[in-house]
A and B are shown apart, each in its own frame.
Chain A
């Protein structure tokens, strides 16, 4: 071709032009700005509006936080120290942090006990949350509830040891009998545990708590963020197994069992948590023998556990329904009986599917533990609205306290949801 044109065209380039750099506006930060912030006129308007909103928030919040006073002992002193400048009185936090975190009745010399229990909680939760850790750590997880109980409530060490002994006896009997049939093992284990607990109840001397290593603290002295954490952790832990049982019951082919589970789940899901808390505070006592004194904490734990187990049951039912029918048939054709099929084939897959849903429920439940302030328990919201805002020193400090509570909840809830997303990616074994 070039030969033909060699004579007819004045100039033919023989060498390749070196590549020119892209135009300034189509590269680097300018390109990014043009594409992401100012693509169209409407988009530019949106960007300016968003910048304005951000400026409004930051210009209000940043000076307020930066001018914060941390060292005064009452609101009046703080106002004097601020001298008319807009600023926060964070001194309410430095002065009352213990009440916000532990409630106003928990003895201050024992603050190390719930703190230690919290630290141990992380150790106990680690092998459950991260599978790469050595499996032996699960032993500590199994013992943790009894240690935590003893640390927080104190009293005689015999109580948690006895409870632990009951659980161990149950587990041993279960392992003995499960080779015959799951039902034998399961019920045998429960009966063994109950026998140990009842017999042990007679053994513990009456005044054991008075001379205990850790002084006993009654449940009504618990409060603050510690109460929210305790309710959240206890109720979620208890409600997962109950939720699994309810979900399986709802799928059962036995009409009576199915009916009981459906009625329970739909009833609980149909009423607000606050009415269940009313039941705990004013009604539940009527349903127990007159001489029994079930304390409010335990009643609230019962009701919240019922509440969350109904929701978790629905999430797990979704997971069970999402499994292909072939999985059930394959388990049957291998000759596994119902408990074996469930434990070995169905539940591991169904639970994996349900993890994001269960975590959502757990986060929602943890947030809902603030509702106990309505029935007169002093959790962190109850502490803020009750003793702290009512005190003469700090009457009128709203934002610092509510902001502190919000930050605590945000850290925990956001952390849990980030963990759940990590776990989802980790467990995604298909579609790589």
Chain B
């Protein structure tokens, strides 16, 4: 039963541009294109008129001129004579540093809170839902400011550590919490330390190899090797042995009070701590919800079926529940990582020198190159988020339910 669906092929009339579905979409797109071009032309025209009136132009050569400002926390060498481009690089690295640290810590907080929220323990479950609700419903900027205030206004000044009866003391004699930041011991790499590090790396490879061997043995012969304790042993025993054989080449540079401040060790500034902690504890609350939803999404029948097959609870979790839950958890988790990276731009509120504070803050104010700076800033964040989205797509395709 074929019916004639096409309208009769008459000659083309102008009204068909609006009334005929075959041509209407072309009309709409032409209108949209026209509007787009007109608005872009209007904005660009205004832009050039305004720039000409202000005696400005769009140029990026300011990046090569000396920045002239200092940055207190840098991962690469930098001084005030370095260029603006160098300052931007310092900012990029600082952004990536705080984003990475926060992602790791937020995952820890989130997984802990999410799992504990499902605990049989009533009190713990309530406490965790309290944590999630409190942190989700208060702006992250307020959390950053709160933790920054704790770090700068509540922590003791370095001089509180002085004297025979000091008001403050170092944690375990190693870490000092002061209002100028946290001082942690720095590792000192003596001669021969390279061997110890190399041993540790070889041990990691060894652990992976051993676990792979155990899996292969299990699948081919059904023989079950223990993996937990042997893995730990392979990981640490050779490294510790090598450490003593080489004569303890790796030492610790413990921060000491000298003059008005601590010397030695690594100083982690208050802005970094505030940003790191606030971002991880805030995003942790969101991740906790994702984890909880992911575990609850695995239907109870799966757990029961696995138990009926005779799997022990640990294996039920590892082999049946987690692989299915992860498929639900990972995509929102990655978008939370993206949020952390974007929220790290709030560093400007506490004076942490990330890309927003260097390129979008001081450089912008010193050079007056607002358009160029903001464009570069957007380009950076856009690149990061497109990269993370690409990773997410690859992962999603890998774990997608293989259906016929």
Contact = CB atoms under 8 A, between A and B. Distances in A.
Given A254-B29, A275-B377, A287-B46, A371 B121 contact: no
Contacts of A79: none
Interface string B28-62: 11001100100000010011011101000000000
B134 interface: yes
B46 A289 contact: yes
Contacts of A288: 46
B328 to A, nearest CB: 15
B96 to A, nearest CB: 14
Given A279-B374, A282-B370, A409-B138, A274 B46 contact: no
For the complex, would chain B's binding face be called helix, strand, loop or mixed by DSSP majority? helix
Interface residues of B, number: 52
B73 interface: no
A39 B377 contact: no
A381 B149 CA distance: 14
A290 B141 contact: no
B215 interface: no
Interface in B342-360: 342-343, 345-346, 348-349, 356, 360
Interface string B359-386: 0100010000011001001100110011
Interface string B98-124: 000000000000000000000111111
A410 interface: yes
B142 interface: yes
A28 to B, nearest CB: 15
9 contacts: A37-B122, A50-B123, A256-B29, A275-B345, A286-B371, A368-B139, A396-B153, A402-B146, A409-B137
A54 B127 contact: yes
A220 B122 CA distance: 50
B145 interface: yes
Contacts of A46: 119, 121, 123-124
A130 to B, nearest CB: 22
Contacts of B97: none
B374 A278 contact: yes
Contact of A260 (B32, B139, B377): B32
Interface of B: 18, 25, 28-29, 32-33, 36, 43, 46-47, 49-51, 53, 119-124, 127, 133-134, 136-142, 145-146, 149, 153, 342-343, 345-346, 348-349, 356, 360, 364, 370-371, 374, 377-378, 381-382, 385-386
Contact of B381 (A183, A255, A270, A410): A270
Interface residues of A, number: 57
Contact of A402 (B25, B47, B142, B349): B142
Nearest to B148: A398
A260 B28 CA distance: 13
Given A36-B121, A272-B381, A286-B47, 12 more contacts: A39-B121, A254-B32, A257-B29, A275-B381, A282-B370, A287-B50, A288-B46, A374-B346, A381-B142, A398-B149, A409-B138, A410-B137
A103 to B, nearest CB: 17
B374 A282 contact: yes
Nearest to B145: A402
Q: Which of B121, B133, B343 has the most CB of A within 10 A?
A: B121
B378 A271 contact: yes
Interface in A362-419: 363, 367-368, 370-371, 373-374, 381, 385, 396, 398-399, 402, 405-406, 409-410, 413-414, 417
B38 to A, nearest CB: 14
B43 A282 contact: no
B342 A272 contact: yes
Contact of A47 (B124, B133, B348, B371): B124
A374 B348 CA distance: 8
A267 interface: yes
A8 interface: no
Contacts of B153: 396, 398
A406 B51 contact: no
B364 A282 contact: yes
Contacts of B53: 290
B2 to A, nearest CB: 17
Nearest to B26: A254
A402 B149 contact: yes
A266 B390 CA distance: 13
Given A36-B120, A50-B124, A274-B346, A285 B142 contact: no
Contacts of B145: 381, 385, 402
Contacts of A363: 137
